[in-house]
Amino acid sequence: MLATVPAAGAEPPLSPGLQAYLRNCVQERLQEEGHAGSPWFRIHLYLRLGDAGTAAALDRDLRQHRNQGLIALFGQLAPELPSMQAALARQLHLMHGYDRQLQLVSAPAEQRPTQLQLGEQRFAVFTLHGDADCLHRVMPCPMLVFCPLAS
């Protein structure tokens, strides 16, 4: 089963309008969190958030575009996970199991950005999803946004 759609590294066949909408939503979330001057974000589609098969693909895509931001769209949460926070924690744990250079700097949380370190690059990780407690964080599908931070 593929973990990423289309093949890793390729931009998904989303309309330019939908891509612009996703990037605008991400920009608003970053401004809310105080991240000015955010990077260009690549958009990748994955099957399930919190799934072992997704860990390697997401890690590879994050490494490949480490100086750019990454918007990771997921079709759904892995079926056994009860919440977005559990899915975020499991996804980052699985990625660390796949890539020992990936280190959590702060514990996974939805109320604030989670930070992780991949080699020399640090990222803030934001969530957007259907059950978010704030309207401006609501998206119809689960999303993780990886925003590179200045060293």
Q: Over the stretch 76-131, which tens digit does the pLDDT of each residue have?
A: 888 888 888 888 889 989 998 888 888 888 877 666 778 899 888 899 888 875 56
pLDDT, tens digit, 9 for 90 and up, residues 16-27: 888 888 888 888
According to the model, what pLDDT value does residue 133 have? 60
Q: Of 137, 135, 136, 40, nearest to 88 (Cα)?
A: 137
Write down the residue that tokens 């093949």 correspond to. 7
pTM of the model: 0.82
- Which tokens belong to 35? 């991240």
- Rounded CA gap, 110 and 46, in Å? 20
Q: Give CA 69 to chain center in angstroms.
A: 9
- Per-domain residue ranges of the chain: 4-114+125-149
pLDDT digits (tens, 9 = 90+) for 49-75: 898 888 889 998 988 877 788 989 888
User: Which residues, 6 or more positions from 96, have their beta carbon under 8 angstroms from its beta carbon?
Assistant: 102, 103, 104
